[in-house]
């Protein structure tokens, strides 16, 4: 069973976390099931960047991102080559090390 190691994040998981994952789960779903409240303003529909994560290890084991996800990621704060949307990144068999960026852009709440 693959594991996801979430690196420490000051607000969401100050101690970091090592979590069991099921093959086919998304990074976001594993985080949410385990009390790591990564924002997901579009309710996992690939319509925002609030669940942006950086996959520090295991990136190439994930499902390939599609054009819609790539277009959304272009709008993410702190975009890196190993960036993915947590709601779209499906876990395969490899363990992952994931960093949750310090900031996120929420177009919905920031336009009010």
pLDDT in tens, 27-79: 999 999 999 999 999 999 999 999 999 999 999 999 999 999 999 999 998 99
How large is the average pLDDT for residues 86-112? 81
Instruction: Spell out the domains of the chain, with CATH numbers in brackets.
Output: 3-106 (3.10.20.30)
- Work out the percent of the chain whose per-residue pLDDT is above 70: 93
Phi-psi region of 43 (alpha: psi -120 to 50; beta: other; left: phi over 0): left
- The pLDDT assigned to 104 comes to 76
Q: How confident is the model at residue 109 (pLDDT cuts 50, 70, 90)?
A: very low
What b-and-e string marks burial along 18-56, b requiring 16 or more CB atoms within 10 Å of the CB? ebebeeebbbbbbbbeeebebbbbbebebebbbbbbbbe
pTM of the model: 0.92
């Amino acid at each position: 069973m693959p594991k996801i190691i979430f690196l420490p994040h000051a607000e969401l998981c100050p101690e970091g976390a090592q979590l069991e994952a099921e093959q086919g789960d998304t990074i976001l779903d594993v985080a949410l099931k385990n009390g790591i409240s990564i924002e997901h303003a579009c309710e996992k529909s690939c319509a925002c960047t609030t669940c942006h994560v950086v996959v520090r290890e295991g990136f190439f084991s994930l499902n390939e991102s599609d054009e819609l996800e790539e277009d959304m990621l272009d709008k993410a704060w702190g975009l890196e080559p190993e960036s993915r949307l947590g709601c779209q990144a499906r876990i395969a068999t490899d363990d992952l090390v994931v960093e949750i960026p310090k900031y996120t852009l929420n177009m919905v709440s920031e336009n009010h």
